[in-house]
Amino acid sequence: MMEKTAKHVFLLGMAALLPLKSIAAEPVQPIEPVKNINLAQAELGKKLYFDPRLSKSGFISCNSCHNLSMGGTDNLKTSIGHNWQQGPINSPTVLNSSMNVAQFWDGRAADLKEQAGGPIANPGEMAFTHTLAVSVLQSIPGYVNEFRLVFGDDAINIDRVTDAIAEFEKTLVTPGSRFDQWLLGYENAITANEKAGYELFKNSGCVACHNGPAVGGSSFQKMGLVQPYQTTNPAEGLAGVTGKDADRFKFKVPTLRNVELTYPYFHDGEAETLTEAVDIMGRLQLGKTFTADENAKVVAFLKTLTGEQPTFALPILPPSVDATPKPQPFGQ
Amino acid sequence: MMEKTAKHVFLLGMAALLPLKSIAAEPVQPIEPVKNINLAQAELGKKLYFDPRLSKSGFISCNSCHNLSMGGTDNLKTSIGHNWQQGPINSPTVLNSSMNVAQFWDGRAADLKEQAGGPIANPGEMAFTHTLAVSVLQSIPGYVNEFRLVFGDDAINIDRVTDAIAEFEKTLVTPGSRFDQWLLGYENAITANEKAGYELFKNSGCVACHNGPAVGGSSFQKMGLVQPYQTTNPAEGLAGVTGKDADRFKFKVPTLRNVELTYPYFHDGEAETLTEAVDIMGRLQLGKTFTADENAKVVAFLKTLTGEQPTFALPILPPSVDATPKPQPFGQ
């Protein structure tokens, strides 16, 4: 991550030497490098993110459904949880999720820290409890030492666990996409066709919701604004949080960063391809039917939003000891 | 891996300057650095090793059950397969597995390449077929390019897939353990207590089977030689391969390298702790009941066999495209 940030700073620096383009006037902004990271806390959080011992089965980690080899998603329509339960909703990407106005499709968690505790205790996901997860960690000398190092004393609790995971997740940004290079002044970073796609994206109204550095993530919008969205998925969206009927089918607008990697699309994962997603969004949200040529241009633009993926050494987890509570994958 | 190998070569070099100990006389030998690796092929193999698209569900990869964050195992009694099926046997570690006389507990695969194809097509594990797995890879431009780079042409077939995975697995050795440092002449690398454990390990006969650089892995032996082993696990061992009644309950002697990380133990995963495993091995295989003090010493020795874990960047997988066959996690 260090290397990447340096490269990004270099790009930003170089941009200053190029003919000035008014970035500020664009509805999409470049991703800024990560700042103010507590590195020791993020390193601990990385281990926890990859540790399946935070699940009842000892088999499912954060990375199982937000796989950092695959755009921070599982690339499944809906996820697989404990005992192979079928999840109710598509796993959103963890990449650039620090920029989201809230977490989960329905925004029921205010931030990354609050989100991180959810799946651990969700019976359909990791199916554990915070108390049991903490007990496991407390039994492992390698973790006890690392929590002490990071937090100044031995206490391990869910507050610190989710703090550390959130700190790691804050590092998962993807600067350096070809589109950001273009925003920063490198005219040749995207093709004429991709630029035409961006113009369509702006002129058709996509940017009303998909804007800012994350190209989304900053608001809740009704799925099926102009025409109703047909789905068998029972998710109600924001209404489940606020209790307001007006919030039915309002979902957090997903980030379009790395959207080439985060298939399938929508909260129900029903759109398998970008072509399909762009077509449905155009018709249902904007009342606009993109021609095949227009659709292809928008898709070409969207693929320029793939940034540098976070790269880091696969963490080596501290081993359990004799006293560590055993995972219970089967029949209990 | 480069860094590690260099360090190990350095250690081997330094050992030449130290008072000569007769390493050759010891039944356990240091792990040698990896040589003759086709690096491009190993890098491709690393991606394949981490790619859940080699499974029917799109959720299970080689790394799911041979997790390189956890000693190359899943640390479960028996593994979780497609649709949460309970596996029949404990997942052996992939670490140092290139040194095994054959692969799987019953030796049914001659080498790493032959092994790698097994779980992909096993209905209880990744539940895919070789043909379908190859179709998925053939649809992904990033893989097509990389196979061409590595093998000289575009062909993707199971032969090349398993060649690449095996090449990656050959890199997964763990030199540099404290015990190897001691073998190489650093007297203080292990404590007097650990050394006493090694003496017990030698004098009690453990080394009859657990010897060589992998401290095991070189022969098949009957589980329950002196006293019968009681288990509800139906695995028959080598007899299932040879059809010979004399081979019933003969299993490949597992490596003891990194045994601190590869819990639980035995082919059925029934021994939860090293203390338990040492006790059972002593009584059933050697007719020897270790005292608590002796057992603790042997366990202390075994923990000196934890080597440097392979560290490498988590691979970023090339994305599927519209034409890529979709994973089928549920109901089909």
Chain B residue with the nearest C-alpha to that of A274: B322
- Chain A nearest-CA distance from B83, in A, is 6
- Active-site hit among B43, B125, B270, B294: B125
* A326 vs B contacts (CB less than 8 Å): 272
- Chain A nearest-CA distance from B89, in A, is 14
Q: Which two tokens stand for residue B57?
A: 């569900």
On the question of pLDDT at B25 being above 90, the answer is no
Residue B70 one-letter amino acid: M
Q: Are A62 and A165 in contact (CB under 8 A)?
A: yes
- Chain B nearest-CA distance from A216, in A, is 21
Q: Closest partner residue to A314 among B69, B74, B329, by Cβ?
A: B69
* A315 vs B contacts (CB less than 8 Å): 69
* B142 vs A contacts (CB less than 8 Å): none
> What pLDDT band is residue B10 in, cutting at 50, 70 and 90?
low
Q: Which two tokens stand for residue B146?
A: 């990389």
Which is nearest to A145 in space by CA: A35, A3, A30, A43? A43
Question: What integer pLDDT is reported at residue B235 of this predicted model?
Answer: 93
Cβ-proximal residues to A263 (8 Å cutoff; 6+ apart), any chain: A75, A272, A273, A274, B319, B320
Q: What is the pLDDT along chain A (332 residues), one digit of tens a residue?
A: 445 555 666 555 555 555 556 777 899 999 999 999 999 999 999 999 999 999 999 999 999 999 999 999 999 999 999 999 999 999 999 999 999 999 999 999 999 999 999 999 999 999 999 999 999 999 999 999 999 999 999 999 999 999 999 999 999 999 999 999 999 999 999 999 999 999 999 999 999 999 999 999 999 999 999 999 999 999 999 999 999 999 999 999 999 999 999 999 999 999 999 999 999 999 999 999 999 999 999 999 999 999 999 999 999 999 999 999 999 999 75
Digit-coded pLDDT (tens) for B210-245 = 999 999 999 999 999 999 999 999 999 999 999 999
Question: What integer pLDDT is reported at residue A2 of this predicted model?
Answer: 44
Contacts across the A-B interface (CB distance below 8 Å): 99
Cβ-proximal residues to A253 (8 Å cutoff; 6+ apart), any chain: A209, A210, A216, A217, A218, A219, A220, A221
Q: Where are the domains of chain B?
A: 2-30+176-305, 39-170
Mean predicted lDDT score pLDDT of chain B: 94
**Contact (CB<8Å) B67/A58:** no
Question: What integer pLDDT is reported at residue A9 of this predicted model?
Answer: 60
- Active-site hit among A26, A43, A125, A270: A125
**Contact (CB<8Å) B272/A314:** no
Which of B311, B320, B324 is best to mutate for the A interface (most A CBs within 10 A)? B320
**Contact (CB<8Å) A313/B313:** yes
* CA separation, residue B190 to residues A37, A218, B31 (Å): 38, 56, 17
- Chain B nearest-CA distance from A223, in A, is 23
- Chain A nearest-CA distance from B70, in A, is 6
What is the average per-residue pLDDT within B148-164? Answer: 97
Digit-coded pLDDT (tens) for B140-149 = 999 999 999 9
Question: What integer pLDDT is reported at residue A145 of this predicted model?
Answer: 98
What CATH number matches the domain at B2-30+176-305, 1.10.760.10, 3.40.50.920, 2.60.40.1180, 3.40.50.150?
Answer: 1.10.760.10
* A86 vs B contacts (CB less than 8 Å): 329-330
Question: What integer pLDDT is reported at residue B331 of this predicted model?
Answer: 79
**Contact (CB<8Å) B59/A71:** no
**Contact (CB<8Å) A84/B86:** no
**Can A187 be counted among the known catalytic residues?**
no
CATH topology agreement for domains A2-33+174-305 and A39-170: yes
- Chain B nearest-CA distance from A67, in A, is 10
Question: What integer pLDDT is reported at residue B23 of this predicted model?
Answer: 75
- Chain A residues in contact with chain B using a Cβ-Cβ cutoff of 8 Å: 50-53, 57-59, 64, 67-71, 74-76, 80, 83-84, 86, 260-261, 263, 272-275, 309, 311-317, 319-320, 322, 326-327, 329-330
Q: Are A228 and A318 in contact (CB under 8 A)?
A: no
Which of A4, A80, A260 is best to mutate for the B interface (most B CBs within 10 A)? A80
**Contact (CB<8Å) B320/A263:** yes
Q: Closest partner residue to B329 among A80, A313, A314, by Cβ?
A: A80
Question: What integer pLDDT is reported at residue B152 of this predicted model?
Answer: 97
Question: What integer pLDDT is reported at residue A25 of this predicted model?
Answer: 87
Look up residue B230 and give its DSSP letter: P
Q: Closest partner residue to A311 among B59, B64, B316, by Cβ?
A: B316
Look up residue B188 and give its DSSP letter: G
The CATH topology of domain A2-33+174-305 is Cytochrome Bc1 Complex; Chain D, domain 2 (1.10.760)
**Contact (CB<8Å) B59/A57:** no
| CATH code for the part of the protein at A39-170 | 1.10.760.10
**Contact (CB<8Å) A319/B260:** yes
Cβ-proximal residues to B276 (8 Å cutoff; 6+ apart), any chain: B265
